[in-house]
Structure 1
Amino acid sequence: MPLSRRVGLAVAIAGSAVATTVLPFTAHAESTVLYVDQRATTCSDKGTGTQAQPFCTIQAAADVVEPGQTVRLPAKRRFTGQVTVKRSGQPGKPIVFQGDTTYGAPNTTVNAAGEGSTGVHAFVLDGVHDVTVSGLSLGAPQEAVLVKDSTRIVLDRAYVSGGGAVADPGATANVRVTGTSSNVTVSRVRVFSPPVAGVSIDAGVTGAVVTTSIVTDGPGRGVLVTDAPGTVVVGNTIAANCGNDLELAGNSAGAVVENNILTKRPAPRCGSTPTTAVPLVVSADSVQGTKADYNTVVGPGQASASYSWGGTSYATPEAFRATGQGAHDNAVDPGFGDDYDYEPVAAEGLTDAADPTAPGVPATDLFDREPADHPGIANTGPSGYRDRGALELQDSLRASLSGLPYSQENHPLNARFTVDYTASWAPGTATLDFGDGSTPLVVTPGQRFVDHDYPAAGSYTATLTATGQAGGVRKATATVLLNPVAQPWTQFWWSAGDRSRAQITLNAQSVSPWPIVRHVVDFGDGTAPTVSEGPNANPSISHEYGVGGSYTITSTVVDNHGRTASQTKTAGVAGPQAGVPFTGYFGGPTSHNGLFDNGTWALSYNKSDSRLNSSWGFGNPGDIPVVGNWDYTCQCQHAIYRPSTAAFDLSRRDGSISHVPFGNPGDLPAVGSWDRNGHDQVAVYRPSTATLWIRHDDGSYTPLHFGNPGDVPIVGDWDGVHHSQFGVFRPAANPWESNLFIFRHDDGSYSTVTYGMQGDLPVVGDWSGTGRTSYGIFRPGNHQFTLNNAYAGRPDNVYTIYNNYN
């Protein structure tokens, strides 16, 4: 038939007796999980069952579990001993025992038998309600699961064995529901080799459901229902058992038997002629109100019965219809052969031939596969499409997924998934949802490995969803646990050049599981940090301090997840000290600059680079350099002012030294042509009172109050009048402010200009030969002069001088 769009089927279980059954189950929030792991070195049965300290035994968790909580059992674990459930859940808040047994995946085993164990059942649920046991491989000497006098119990997605040997007088069923139990559901359970019965629903039980399960290859019966009215047996594959496959015995009236595959293909252990067993047996007292339809029933041969209904045998489905039942039954060979999975062949009467509205039909099959509409087979069910038996034919669509943490360089939270999907009905598509909220990846046929970077450490369940064009869907999941990522770290070291320059070269080594994308170095001298970006963010970095000294260096790296690592060290940097700037005419039409440092003078004629022209010694540490014209010459002569003794030492042209005491300790020199007689006179500025004191050639002195306390004196020819004029420099008080130059004119007025920033020292001179004194600053942090050339209409001179001769 033409392809039809698949419609998802929710669980549809009719009647109040089974209305509470919901499959599949929804995982509980992480805060409601109790963990059990006997292999964990931190496990303790006296703890609270956290993931960090799980219980050692299932029983310890079962003794404290509360409604709505899930007891989580890890994969690839084998637990020994009987679990007796003594506590109950609540409607809508069941207690869940959750393992990891899914088809083709590592399983979680609970086996009553084992060293030191006296248990005879894997799970006992006696007198409890609202409990779910899911995802476990269960085994025991007697019933693996015993449910007694309990309500709203679900056994789902399990592999069950046990019950003892068929010749053992004490042999039992694999799963037994007994006593006054009600609303018990056995779903998606694989029972292999039942000795007496795979599933036994005993007298007094009401509203039991056996659905979507496989019960095969046992010496006993498949499913045995005795005096349990209202039992639903829907969508199961019960085959190759030596006893009756499905038997409603005693008074089990009002049952529903639909969508099952029941076949007596001989099993080797039954001998060659198991002719006494019948696929479907319904006793006389069980006929009333029982519905049997949409079943595929294949007897052991033409001479034997396929049905026993009310004591009468019927060889074929056609003959069985005389009872008014089995209108849609058939005897289509499911073609099991030696297929352990008992997946039927694609055939009309098997494929798309079940009743999807029957009670107890879950949304997915035994392997959690959704129904698919076969494009080449007509739908013979009453509506939609659903296959008979426990397995849904899926476009021959296969999907498998496994995943492992696969950390790689710069990809610490990478996981590698091995994907496999094929579709034979028609070309299909597949998507891989990584379980972290990212966009699912479209997987192409033949794509084998998929790598994915997760955003954070944790447990993630990826889901591979393969969809055939005919509507079939297969899903496979894989869970990966990614450990927390190590923190980044960094270290650095440096090397220095020769003493002539305060320069270092810094190298850093940084490691992070994620790529380093930024490297920031603060060299500790107030300059802007050096920032390197990109995949090679640890280069060799050179830095010029200009001034030797001790500096605190901080190196910080940032990876592409915003995580940082820093290291701070103190570097002793050799090199010239800042010195004190001086200015004067030492030959030529313009002023020259130099640095005085601890009695050493370094002079540069060039106002564009760091070259020095001469150096000499004069003065002591702590002196202040002074430049002036003492001997009526065209060139300046050097001198020092010693604040501690308040005296000038003037170097004369003839080599002599004139010692001139003047001022008070703490005064600052302010030499200038105050008498306008062809040479300079000494003067001092007292910052505490903002007063200039001028000493004249005749020994007298004149005071001039100008500026504010704390100002620094400056002397120059601001107006081009060929004699000295006074001014002050007011340093910036805050980093965001500018320095202030205040120039006093001959008429007593003054003008101001802002220039430079906090920490600068003033210099004044005629930098361009205009005949007027301009202003500038020296920045000790980097040995940089900046000289204003506004009077000449030219850009400022910016250059560096190092007192290399230090």
Structure 2
Amino acid sequence: MPLSRRAGLAVAIAGSAVATTVLPFTAQAERTVLHVDNRATTCSDKGTGTQAQPFCTIQAAADVVEPGQTVDIAPDRSYTGQVTVKRSGQPGKPIVFRGSFPIDARTPSVLASGQGSTAVHAFVLDGVHDVTVSSLRLYAPQEAVLVKDSTRIVLDRTHVNDATSAANGGTTANIRVTGSSSDVTVSRNRVYAPPVAGVAIDAGVTGAVVTTNIIADGTGRGVLVTDAPGTVVVSNTIARNCGNDLELAGNSAAAVVENNVLFKQADRCSTASTAVPLVVSADSVQGTKADYNTVVPLSQASTSYSWGGTAYATPQAFRATGQGAHDNAVGPGFVDDYNTVAAEGLTDAADPDVPGMPATDFFGEAPTDHPNVANTAPTGYRDRGAIEVQDPLLVSLWGFPFDLIGHPLNARFKVDYVRSWTPGTATLDFGDGSAPLTIESDQIVDHDYPAVGTYTATLTGTSLTGPSRTSTAQVTIAPVLELRTQFSWKLDDRSRARITVNAESTSPWPIARYVVDFGDGTAPTVSEGPSRTASVSHEYGVGGTYTVTETVTDDHGRTASSTLPVEVSGPQAGVPFTGYFGGPTSHNGLFDNGVWTLSYNKSDSRPGYIWGFGNPGDIPVVGNWDYTCQCQHAIYRPSTAAFDLSRTDGSISHVPFGNPGDLPAVGSWDRNGHDQVAVYRPSTATLWIRHDDGSYTPLHFGNPGDVPIVGDWDGVHHSQFGVFRPAANPWEPNLFIFRHDDGSYSTVTYGMQGDLPVVGDWSGTGRTSYGIFRPGNHQFTLNNAYAGRPDNVYTIYNNIG
């Protein structure tokens, strides 16, 4: 897998430490982990190194660590000073100094450094045994790690940066093993820009293993072994160094040099022209085995090998020594730092049984048999160099909520999918129980979740050769915004009382249905389906104030309503009146803002007569004031509690009577050939009659809120009283209550809520009947039960001319 993808996540964070006086170590041995965190506010070098109270310096932990314990160095930290390890582990119970620098890009990073202080090294292991230093990033002016006179030491997965280079004052190796050290393993380290040598194994060292390291871009050698017989140098990638890449100097006989990639680059530095990839001194030839190496010189004319002082330009020429039977000069074609391309001679071309060969590669990956490259290893399959070529199968998944219009529960996923060497599949499981999606390539995927919540989507890629990769992304879908209803209206035509309602409702989901009730008793207007519109128009029968209700439903079944009062001008229904205006039967008409419209015809809307008398807010009154055969008109003004009676001579009689809020109830109460004024007080259900002599008589009848009616219910040729009780609920009828001369009463139901009462003799029977006027549609309905005929139903529009 690409080094740059793994190391690219690194954040340098931890370093080495300065020794301090500590308390005697006792309780620590009972624990397996000691913690170091110099940013913790509770850190103390005099503590016990618990996670709650870590050490401030690595040195403090090194001074007290016991066999079998691990010194865990917190990520995202930087330390200065030198760590000198003075304590040893035991066989099978090593002391481990562990950071988390992401050589494999799977963990947070740690930087351990000796830079910026008087320290010479980052880590010094002198005279100790059974110690491991792992996963740290190291800087130092000289050797970053110095191992001296120590046994069973493992230096694994560290990153030694160019602070040690000659350009930065370094004059020695990045990693040095010296003195009487034995059984030291230097594995899976990234050694950058070595000034003298990336890894130096000095005289007197025995049993050293240098394996699976990347040692590159230095001004000096890659690996230098001097007078250290039996050293094993296998499966390293040593490239682009100015000096010899791998050199066995002095007497370093019986070495093993296999499975390495040694590579020179023409433009790297001027001294590279004299440098040799593989150099074995005359005293080191005896018993040394060199094979399965890929050796790429500076040019075809350059020396690839120096064996016992003899130069060889090519692997083919080198075979004359009896070595390098499987060596080649296949260009590694480095991609993504020091990953090699898949090629015969590199891939599946190493000896897996060589001493010191690790089970995994630089990144901790197990070997993979490339299906398209022939195996040339003696057994099994291993690649040359530090990095095993892996199946390119790669899946990466990122997800986040993404609010598409009409899709408030949507999440968007970015899918990266690199196909395997062999045919395979990739699927994206959204984590909500829906069917997984087959993935063919990199793409953007939108997905609607069924409900709010947190979901874990999983992208899985598989190969026919066996590898499987997964990547997950967690998305949290927030609650959906409410369905909000809002609308506006405008008056389209004042003369017709026509309005248009424009819905302005919003929902995260599409709106599927609009229902507008215009508040005048007509059926609501419904707009739904593919051709639905958010604007609907309506024409009222009369002007006035109406409560319009809009009910909206979105495509997920959520419903909400809102209301607005709507004031429209146009034809007004008016107040109905009834009287004898010529002929044997009663006539009906409408009074509207001082205009009287009379209809002589009880079957259509044609007006018979129109005149003006009164003001807006007045109540029409019809009666016989002057002993005439025909009725005369008048008005009652509730605001001033006064009657204005129109006389036959054209004069107006002003008669104050009653209280504001009373309703007129004119009738022939004195039975003397003309009518007297009277008022009905709804608040007390009392009729007050004013007699000709100025006196008045009260009559209690009905309930508060009733409307007075006056007629001849029994055909007795004089007025009788009654009340109209409007329906309290839409499903209930109105009630007419008729009072008879003996004080009894009878009732009849007729009409519905919103109707206004009218009474008169529609058929000439000599008895007063009842009826209603429905303002919403200007319709009169007159009961003709006394005459045995069907009811009269017709319409009158006021002020038509």
TM-score norm. by structure 1 comes to 0.55
Structure-1 residue corresponding to 2:738: 744
Provide the C-alpha distance between the structure 2 equivalents of 1:124 and 1:609, rounded to a whole number of angstroms: 111
Provide the C-alpha distance between the structure 2 equivalents of 1:201 and 1:765, rounded to a whole number of angstroms: 125
Residues 1:583 and 2:572 are matched in the alignment: no
Structure-2 residue corresponding to 1:626: 621
Residues 1:690 and 2:688 are matched in the alignment: no
Structure-2 residue corresponding to 1:96: 75
Structure-2 residue corresponding to 1:427: 423
Moved more, 379-388 or 661-670: 379-388
Provide the C-alpha distance between the structure 1 equivalents of 2:211 and 2:431, rounded to a whole number of angstroms: 30
Provide the C-alpha distance between the structure 2 equivalents of 1:131 and 1:796, rounded to a whole number of angstroms: 109
Provide the C-alpha distance between the structure 2 equivalents of 1:369 and 1:607, rounded to a whole number of angstroms: 102
Please say if residues 414 and 454 of structure 1, whose CA atoms lie closer than 8 Å, have aligned partners that are also in contact.
Answer: yes
Residues 1:164 and 2:165 are matched in the alignment: yes
**What residue identity is the alignment partner of 1:194?**
P
Provide the C-alpha distance between the structure 1 equivalents of 2:157 and 2:631, rounded to a whole number of angstroms: 105
> Out of 622, 646, 652, which is 1:651 matched to?
646
Identify if the C-alpha distance between structure 1 residues 232 and 552 changes in structure 2 by more than 3 Å, giving closer, same or farther.
farther
User: How far is the alpha carbon of 1:337 from its aligned partner?
Assistant: 4.7
SS state of the match for residue 342, structure 1?
coil
Structure-2 residue corresponding to 1:667: 662
User: How many residues end up aligned between the 2 structures?
Assistant: 672
User: How far is the alpha carbon of 1:489 from its aligned partner?
Assistant: 12
User: How far is the alpha carbon of 1:711 from its aligned partner?
Assistant: 2.9
Identify if the C-alpha distance between structure 1 residues 675 and 438 changes in structure 2 by more than 3 Å, giving closer, same or farther.
same
Structure 2 unmatched ranges of 5 or more: 14-36, 44-48, 52-56, 62-68, 78-99, 126-130, 149-153, 179-183, 296-302, 309-317
Identify if the C-alpha distance between structure 1 residues 636 and 196 changes in structure 2 by more than 3 Å, giving closer, same or farther.
farther
Identify if the C-alpha distance between structure 1 residues 622 and 612 changes in structure 2 by more than 3 Å, giving closer, same or farther.
same
**What residue identity is the alignment partner of 2:424?**
G
**What residue identity is the alignment partner of 1:773?**
Y
Residues 1:640 and 2:639 are matched in the alignment: no
**What residue identity is the alignment partner of 1:584?**
T
Residues 1:215 and 2:215 are matched in the alignment: yes
Please say if residues 743 and 752 of structure 1, whose CA atoms lie closer than 8 Å, have aligned partners that are also in contact.
Answer: yes
Provide the C-alpha distance between the structure 2 equivalents of 1:167 and 1:398, rounded to a whole number of angstroms: 39
SS state of the match for residue 756, structure 2?
strand
Identify if the C-alpha distance between structure 1 residues 378 and 498 changes in structure 2 by more than 3 Å, giving closer, same or farther.
closer
Equivalent positions of 1:199-598 (< 5 A) are 214-220=214-220, 222=222, 237-238=237-238, 242-243=243-244, 261-268=259-266, 270-271=272-273, 274=276, 277=279, 297-298=293-294, 304=307, 336-337=332-333, 341-345=338-342, 350-351=347-348, 366=363, 374-375=370-371, 390-395=386-391, 397=393, 421-423=418-420, 425-431=421-427, 441-445=437-441, 450=444, 452=446, 466-472=461-467, 495-497=490-492, 499-500=494-495, 503-505=498-500, 517=511, 539-540=534-535, 542=537, 575=569, 581-584=575-578, 592-597=588-593
Identify if the C-alpha distance between structure 1 residues 516 and 360 changes in structure 2 by more than 3 Å, giving closer, same or farther.
farther
Provide the C-alpha distance between the structure 1 equivalents of 2:377 and 2:602, rounded to a whole number of angstroms: 101
User: How far is the alpha carbon of 1:743 from its aligned partner?
Assistant: 1.1
User: How far is the alpha carbon of 1:669 from its aligned partner?
Assistant: 1.1
Structure-1 residue corresponding to 2:757: 763
**What residue identity is the alignment partner of 1:426?**
T
SS state of the match for residue 471, structure 1?
coil
Identify if the C-alpha distance between structure 1 residues 212 and 34 changes in structure 2 by more than 3 Å, giving closer, same or farther.
closer
Provide the C-alpha distance between the structure 1 equivalents of 2:167 and 2:201, rounded to a whole number of angstroms: 19
Provide the C-alpha distance between the structure 2 equivalents of 1:676 and 1:186, rounded to a whole number of angstroms: 132
Please say if residues 738 and 754 of structure 1, whose CA atoms lie closer than 8 Å, have aligned partners that are also in contact.
Answer: no
Identify if the C-alpha distance between structure 1 residues 275 and 663 changes in structure 2 by more than 3 Å, giving closer, same or farther.
closer
Provide the C-alpha distance between the structure 1 equivalents of 2:133 and 2:599, rounded to a whole number of angstroms: 94
User: How far is the alpha carbon of 1:393 from its aligned partner?
Assistant: 3.4
Percentage of matched positions with identical amino acids: 46
Please say if residues 729 and 739 of structure 1, whose CA atoms lie closer than 8 Å, have aligned partners that are also in contact.
Answer: no
User: How far is the alpha carbon of 1:496 from its aligned partner?
Assistant: 3.9
User: How far is the alpha carbon of 1:641 from its aligned partner?
Assistant: 1.9
**What residue identity is the alignment partner of 2:685?**
A
**What residue identity is the alignment partner of 2:216?**
T
**What residue identity is the alignment partner of 1:623?**
D
What does the per-residue CA deviation read over 1:515-559, in whole Å, with 9 as the maximum and x for residues that have no partner?
874898999989999997799998455466788789999999999
SS state of the match for residue 584, structure 1?
strand
Provide the C-alpha distance between the structure 2 equivalents of 1:381 and 1:471, rounded to a whole number of angstroms: 21
**What residue identity is the alignment partner of 1:336?**
P
Structure-2 residue corresponding to 1:774: 771
**What residue identity is the alignment partner of 1:444?**
E
Please say if residues 213 and 236 of structure 2, whose CA atoms lie closer than 8 Å, have aligned partners that are also in contact.
Answer: yes
What does the per-residue CA deviation read over 1:467-521, in whole Å, with 9 as the maximum and x for residues that have no partner?
4333345679999999x99999999876544654555546688999x78748989
Provide the C-alpha distance between the structure 1 equivalents of 2:614 and 2:395, rounded to a whole number of angstroms: 91
Identify if the C-alpha distance between structure 1 residues 244 and 789 changes in structure 2 by more than 3 Å, giving closer, same or farther.
farther
Structure-2 residue corresponding to 1:194: 194
Please say if residues 211 and 361 of structure 1, whose CA atoms lie closer than 8 Å, have aligned partners that are also in contact.
Answer: no
Provide the C-alpha distance between the structure 1 equivalents of 2:652 and 2:221, rounded to a whole number of angstroms: 128
Please say if residues 673 and 723 of structure 1, whose CA atoms lie closer than 8 Å, have aligned partners that are also in contact.
Answer: yes
Please say if residues 676 and 689 of structure 2, whose CA atoms lie closer than 8 Å, have aligned partners that are also in contact.
Answer: yes
What does the per-residue CA deviation read over 1:693-714, in whole Å, with 9 as the maximum and x for residues that have no partner?
4467898866432112343323
Equivalent positions of 1:120-199 (< 5 A) are 161=162, 163-165=164-166, 170=171, 173=174, 192-198=192-198
SS state of the match for residue 97, structure 1?
coil
**What residue identity is the alignment partner of 2:75?**
V
**What residue identity is the alignment partner of 2:569?**
G
What does the per-residue CA deviation read over 1:561-593, in whole Å, with 9 as the maximum and x for residues that have no partner?
99999999x999573697862232568978645
TM-score norm. by structure 2 comes to 0.55
Provide the C-alpha distance between the structure 1 equivalents of 2:216 and 2:791, rounded to a whole number of angstroms: 99
Provide the C-alpha distance between the structure 2 equivalents of 1:626 and 1:385, rounded to a whole number of angstroms: 115
What does the per-residue CA deviation read over 1:406-426, in whole Å, with 9 as the maximum and x for residues that have no partner?
999889999795856455x43
**What residue identity is the alignment partner of 2:171?**
G
**What residue identity is the alignment partner of 1:170?**
T
Please say if residues 135 and 157 of structure 2, whose CA atoms lie closer than 8 Å, have aligned partners that are also in contact.
Answer: yes
Superposed CA RMSD: 7.9
Identify if the C-alpha distance between structure 1 residues 169 and 394 changes in structure 2 by more than 3 Å, giving closer, same or farther.
closer
Please say if residues 501 and 802 of structure 1, whose CA atoms lie closer than 8 Å, have aligned partners that are also in contact.
Answer: no
Question: Whose RCO is larger (CA < 8 A, sep 6+)?
Answer: 1
Please say if residues 249 and 280 of structure 2, whose CA atoms lie closer than 8 Å, have aligned partners that are also in contact.
Answer: no
Identify if the C-alpha distance between structure 1 residues 168 and 669 changes in structure 2 by more than 3 Å, giving closer, same or farther.
closer
**What residue identity is the alignment partner of 1:470?**
T
Please say which structure displays the higher CA radius of gyration. Answer: 2
Identify if the C-alpha distance between structure 1 residues 556 and 686 changes in structure 2 by more than 3 Å, giving closer, same or farther.
closer
User: How far is the alpha carbon of 1:164 from its aligned partner?
Assistant: 2.1
Identify if the C-alpha distance between structure 1 residues 713 and 509 changes in structure 2 by more than 3 Å, giving closer, same or farther.
closer
User: How far is the alpha carbon of 1:773 from its aligned partner?
Assistant: 0.9
